[in-house]
């Protein structure tokens, strides 16, 4: 009973609050990192060095008027942000933050569940988010959001393909679809898959930027062209949901990358004996550190690069990334067969 | 019927989109009505006039000295350039000989202004294409120029920094070394912008071949300034009809080859380097002497009319003035605004490109709506 219901519930509450707080502070972190790159200070007014800024933002978003355009399709308009947010949140169900630990004399795995098709689950859940974007843009009954949502659906679908293909090569290397076993495979292997599958990592990185609509692929919300893209007509809390989803997605892709390519909760060089003092740091802290390091790369890229044009982005996806990913699968499979025989 | 046979399967329709007047990337209150076929621009219609203040008419009720202040409000990111063009026009009509020192200081101010204006252009252009950081870097250096202007004339945006016959005051002591120091800083920072953009693959893909126009076509449509030079036409008023101290200071005209957005970007960057070169030479060769010619207390040009053009950061800014010789205000004043002339090339430049390119092209022709609408 406890193992079946109470423990998962507690973990879900923990993960959800953790993620939401991280999102809040990720926004602050993004503003700060950008500010530092751009030789300015960033938020400084709310609390020391702006640490209370996220709270002020949330309060602001809550008290803002929530406008629904007169000609919008009300029902779909309300539903769309929820469809975008929920999948990105439930993707955390299979992400392993750490191995099994003993808490109060009871073995507690530091993940909500370990599906044997965990990776497949993430791929399929992530695909649902696109619907929200299309519906949001369409139901606004306005031109800019419509263009924005068309762009982003095309973009998301094409890059999802490339990203999913990189998963295949990781699965080949790990021999499992379960997130936990992928991490353990890296333990057994002795090196992170980042070194085994550098091409896959590269494609995943580019694809992840595109899938989360981040610079240089932030076309769906290209501020200077489409005002705000698919969520132009959204305001108040409903806008906040889109915003939340975007940042949650960033965390998801970083967490997945950590798990697949950077050894998840494992300490660096997990099999090197004399580095065992690194194991004193709890596993989930390693996981968090790695995820944040990847998130920092997101912010860094945003502060540096210009934006691709829509057609160039499609070209990059279809003409380069997807063929490269397929070639990578073939090579991985061939190497595996040769080594196995 | 025959002609549409191929399309009859799908009912296609052109999408008409209003870009502006409240749009983050139109650099002010510009409205562009775009006809789109998918994301491709079939046609563009530029609607202006949202910032019309009737500056030309206003001048008819101001006396000649007060008009300097109105010229500040034309191109508000390059006020000194408009100041200079206007006062030189009046001086030409009155045949006033401006002291040499004043001409040199004017050159320094005009070139600093060109740098400031190009920095704003580079920043906003890069931001339109998605490189936010460049914008903040550019404005950081522009701030230094504004500080220099503030020290010189007290104002940071609308300088009112020229007088008919010379300058309101000599340069403050210690100002010139600061200008030189600024040039050194700017030199370094320019290289910094270039590492972010010039060889950046994404930047190249976004600007190469976008909004290309041949030299012939550019002349035909009336492009001027860096936008024209980007197409390889070496037309620069500073060289062709030298004013201020440009005939005494050597500098090169930057020209492009392909006339696309990337070439115009390179031309403006080179122009910034040349501006620093001019400023350095002008500071070093600054002659001693008065900064104000002998002019009557009440400016009253003789009856007649004249036209005089300068090279503002945006292009050729010209003033046509007509005086009746009796009143103390112009009978008619007409501005030839470079932004306005450049803007009319927009429909031609964007046709056949994508929506995203429209933004890049609006950025590359470097318009300021205060000058377009007056």
**Testing the interface with A: which of B14, B36, B132, B141 to mutate, by most A Cβ within 10 A?**
B132
pLDDT 10s digits, A143-178: 778 877 887 788 888 888 888 888 888 888 888 888
Answer yes or no: do A224 and B202 touch at CB < 8 A: no
Is position B281 within any domain? yes
Phi, psi of A107, deg, nearest 5: -70, 125
Which residues are registered as beta bridge partners of B321?
B306, B333
Answer yes or no: do B197 and A306 touch at CB < 8 A: yes
Distance (Å, whole) CA B121 – CA B129: 12
Band of pLDDT at residue B65, cut at 50, 70 and 90: confident
Show residues of chain A in contact with B356, CB under 8 Å: 219, 222, 225, 307, 309-310
Band of pLDDT at residue B1, cut at 50, 70 and 90: very low
Chain B, residues 95-154, CB within 8 A of chain A, namely 126-133, 136-137, 140
**Candidate from B15, B137, B202 with C-beta closest to A143:** B15
Task: Return the structure tokens found at A315.
Answer: 């070209």
Is position B103 within any domain? yes
Chain A, residues 116-155, CB within 8 A of chain B, namely 143-144, 147
CA A85-A87-A88 angle, 5° bins: 65
Strands B315-323 and B304-312: antiparallel
Task: Return the structure tokens found at B33.
Answer: 């009505």
Q: Point out the residues of chain A with pLDDT beneath 50.
A: none
Is position B22 within any domain? no
Is position B30 within any domain? no
Show residues of chain B in contact with A224, CB under 8 Å: 24-25, 127-130, 359
pTM of the model: 0.81
CB count in 10 Å sphere of residue B257: 12
Q: Does A178 sit behind a cis peptide bond, omega within 30 degrees of 0 on the bond before it?
A: no
Is position B19 within any domain? no
pLDDT 10s digits, B174-208: 888 988 889 888 888 888 888 888 888 888 888 88
**Testing the interface with A: which of B30, B133, B197, B209 to mutate, by most A Cβ within 10 A?**
B133
Q: What is the pLDDT of residue B2?
A: 45
Q: A261-265, A266-270, B234-238, B268-272: lowest mean pLDDT where?
A: A266-270
| SS3 call for B38 | coil
How many domains does the structure of chain B reveal? 1
Distance (Å, whole) CA B19 – CA B8: 30
Show residues of chain A in contact with B353, CB under 8 Å: none
On the question of pLDDT at B90 being above 50, the answer is yes
Show residues of chain B in contact with A215, CB under 8 Å: 130
Phi, psi of B44, deg, nearest 5: -135, 140
Show residues of chain B in contact with A304, CB under 8 Å: 131, 133, 196
Distance (Å, whole) CA A41 – CA A3: 48
Q: What is the mean pLDDT of residues B83-101?
A: 88
**Candidate from B17, B23, B133 with C-beta closest to A37:** B133
* Residue A2 CB burial class (10 angstroms; 0-12, 13-18, ≥19): exposed
Element (H, E) at A89: helix A74-90
ipTM score for this prediction: 0.72
Measure A79 CA to nearest chain B CA, in Å.
27
Q: A185-199, A313-327, B87-101, B303-317: lowest mean pLDDT where?
A: A185-199
Show residues of chain A in contact with B205, CB under 8 Å: 308-309, 312
Measure A88 CA to nearest chain B CA, in Å.
26
CATH of the domain at B148: 1.10.645.10
Answer yes or no: do B133 and A227 touch at CB < 8 A: no
Show residues of chain B in contact with A34, CB under 8 Å: 132-133
Cβ(B285)–Cβ(B322) below 8 Å = no
Is position B63 within any domain? yes
Task: Return the structure tokens found at A286.
Answer: 């390693």
Q: What is the pLDDT of residue A226?
A: 59
Answer yes or no: do A308 and B129 touch at CB < 8 A: no
CB count in 10 Å sphere of residue A151: 27
Chain A, residues 281-310, CB within 8 A of chain B, namely 302-310
Answer yes or no: do B203 and A306 touch at CB < 8 A: yes
Within an 8 Å CB–CB cutoff, is residue B357 touching chain A? yes
| SS3 call for B57 | helix
Cβ(A114)–Cβ(A96) below 8 Å = yes
Measure B19 CA to nearest chain A CA, in Å.
9
Show residues of chain A in contact with B132, CB under 8 Å: 34, 38, 302-303
Task: Return the structure tokens found at A281.
Answer: 């740091």
More confident residue, B19 or A223: B19
Task: Write out the residue range of the structural domain in which residue B230 sits.
Answer: 55-373
**Candidate from A224, A307, A308 with C-beta closest to B24:** A224
Is position B210 within any domain? yes
Distance (Å, whole) CA A201 – CA B115: 43
In B, minimum Cα distance to A151 occurs at B39
Distance (Å, whole) CA A317 – CA A207: 8
| SS3 call for A116 | coil
Distance (Å, whole) CA A203 – CA A189: 22
Distance (Å, whole) CA B145 – CA B126: 20
Measure B131 CA to nearest chain A CA, in Å.
4
Is position B77 within any domain? yes
């Amino acid at each position: 009973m406890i193992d079946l219901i109470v423990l998962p519930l507690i973990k879900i509450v923990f993960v959800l609050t953790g993620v939401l707080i991280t999102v809040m502070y990720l926004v602050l972190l993004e503003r700060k990192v950008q500010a530092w790159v751009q030789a300015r200070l960033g938020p400084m007014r709310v609390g020391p060095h702006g640490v209370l800024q996220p709270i002020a933002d949330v309060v602001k978003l809550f008290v803002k008027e929530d406008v629904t355009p007169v000609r919008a399709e009300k029902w779909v308009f309300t539903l769309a942000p929820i469809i975008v947010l929920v999948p990105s949140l439930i993707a955390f169900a299979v992400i392993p933050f750490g191995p099994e630990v003993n808490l109060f004399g009871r073995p507690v795995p530091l993940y909500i569940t370990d599906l044997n098709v965990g990776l497949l689950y993430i791929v399929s859940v992530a695909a649902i988010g696109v619907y929200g974007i299309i519906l949001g843009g369409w139901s606004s009954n306005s031109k800019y959001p419509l263009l924005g949502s068309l762009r982003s659906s095309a973009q998301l679908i094409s890059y999802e393909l490339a990203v999913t293909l990189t998963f295949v090569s990781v699965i080949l290397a790990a021999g499992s679809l379960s997130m936990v076993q992928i991490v353990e495979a890296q333990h057994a292997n002795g090196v992170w898959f980042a070194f085994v599958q550098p091409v896959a990592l590269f494609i995943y990185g580019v694809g992840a930027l595109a899938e989360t609509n981040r610079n240089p692929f932030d076309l769906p919300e290209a501020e200077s062209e489409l005002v705000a893209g698919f969520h132009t007509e959204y305001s108040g809390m409903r806008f906040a949901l889109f915003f939340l989803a975007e940042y949650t997605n960033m965390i998801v892709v970083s967490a997945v990358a950590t798990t697949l390519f950077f050894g998840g909760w494992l300490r660096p060089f997990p099999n090197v004996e004399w580095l065992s003092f690194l194991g004193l740091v709890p596993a989930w802290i390693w996981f968090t550190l790695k995820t944040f390091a990847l998130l920092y790369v997101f912010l860094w890229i945003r502060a540096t690069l210009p934006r691709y044009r829509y057609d160039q982005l499609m070209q990059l996806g279809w003409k380069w990334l997807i063929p490269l990913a397929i070639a990578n699968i073939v090579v991985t499979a061939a190497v595996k067969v040769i080594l196995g025989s | 019927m025959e002609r549409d046979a191929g399309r009859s399967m799908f009912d296609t329709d052109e999408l008409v989109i209003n870009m502006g007047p409240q749009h983050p990337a139109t650099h002010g209150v510009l409205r562009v009505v775009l006809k789109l076929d998918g994301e491709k621009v079939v046609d563009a219609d530029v609607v202006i006039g949202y910032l019309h203040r009737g500056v030309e008419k206003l001048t008819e009720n101001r006396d000649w000295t007060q008009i300097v202040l109105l010229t500040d409000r034309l191109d508000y990111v390059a006020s000194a350039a408009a100041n200079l063009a206007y006062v030189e026009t009046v001086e030409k009509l009155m045949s006033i000989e401006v002291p040499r020192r004043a001409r040199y200081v004017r050159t320094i101010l005009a070139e600093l202004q060109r740098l400031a204006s190009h920095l704003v252009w580079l920043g906003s252009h890069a931001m339109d294409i998605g490189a936010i950081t460049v914008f903040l870097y550019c404005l950081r250096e522009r701030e230094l120029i504004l500080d220099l202007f503030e020290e010189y004339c007290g104002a940071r945006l609308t300088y009112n920094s020229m007088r008919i016959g010379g300058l309101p005051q000599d340069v403050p002591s210690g100002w010139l070394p600061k200008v030189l120091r600024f040039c050194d800083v700017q030199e370094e920072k320019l290289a910094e912008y270039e590492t972010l953009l010039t060889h950046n693959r994404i930047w190249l893909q976004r600007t190469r071949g976008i909004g290309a126009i041949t030299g012939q076509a550019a002349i035909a449509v009336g492009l001027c300034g860096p936008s024209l030079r980007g197409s390889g036409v070496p037309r620069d008023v500073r060289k062709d009809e030298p004013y201020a101290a440009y005939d005494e200071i050597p500098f090169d005209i930057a020209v492009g080859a392909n006339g696309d957005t990337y070439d115009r970007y390179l031309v403006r960057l080179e122009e910034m380097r040349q501006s620093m070169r001019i400023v350095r030479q002008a500071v070093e060769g600054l002659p001693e002497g008065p900064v104000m010619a002998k002019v009557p207390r009440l400016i009253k040009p003789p009856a007649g009319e004249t036209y005089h053009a300068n090279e503002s950061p945006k292009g050729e800014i010209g003033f046509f003035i007509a005086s009746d010789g009796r009143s103390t205000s112009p009978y008619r004043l007409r501005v030839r605004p470079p932004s306005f002339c450049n803007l009319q090339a927009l429909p031609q430049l964007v046709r056949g490109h994508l929506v995203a390119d429209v933004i890049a092209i609006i950025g590359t022709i470097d318009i300021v709506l205060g000058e377009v609408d007056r």
